[in-house]
Chain A
Amino acid sequence: QKEVEQNSGPLSVPEGAIASLNCTYSDRGSQSFFWYRQYSGKSPELIMFIYSNGDKEDGRFTAQLNKASQYVSLLIRDSQPSDSATYLCASVGGATNKLIFGTGTLLAVQP
């Protein structure tokens, strides 16, 4: 079982819609969770991090964490074509204290 799992997609949403990206993790000791956006050929850029159960909002982005279900999600409201990218979920802490990435979900926002 992979430590961090994501659906590879592609996830296609129309412009203006809400995009919902999901991630599950296997290490219950994981402490912090990150969402990164990566454009092709570029390094990942941090969108949000979350370490407490519940929701965390920043502009059009909302991260949700449910430690009981070992589930992290990212909602993007009012999706724009410029949001089209690969979204990487990552966790750190737990048994290894390593920053581990999921395989990423490709999001395509259709104009």
Chain B
Amino acid sequence: KAGVTQTPRYLIKTRGQQVTLSCSPISGHRSVSWYQQTPGQGLQFLFEYFSETQRNKGNFPGRFSGRQFSNSRSEMNVSTLELGDSALYLCASSSGTGRYFGPGTRLTVT
């Protein structure tokens, strides 16, 4: 089976812009969760989607949002980018106990 894919892998944006990141889960996995990884804060949970519904949400401002499509693919959006949003954004797809992470999207905000 193909693994979790995330696009794009690298992104440079300017403060105030918005960005959309995409995640394609492993075939058959219906849960997709998103994490932000930074050197200072480590890995932090953003949100989780299951069958197109947000089931869980972390402690991030409303500028961070996401959605899931009927084919389980997921997108996350960050509006009004801030310098502190520079991070590696990881998506994980799950089925049962297994959680499989993609390679991440490296977002740099200048």
**Are A and B genuine complex partners?**
no
Interfacial residues, chain A to chain B (CB-CB below 8 A): none
Interface residues of chain B, those whose CB is within 8 Å of chain A, are: none
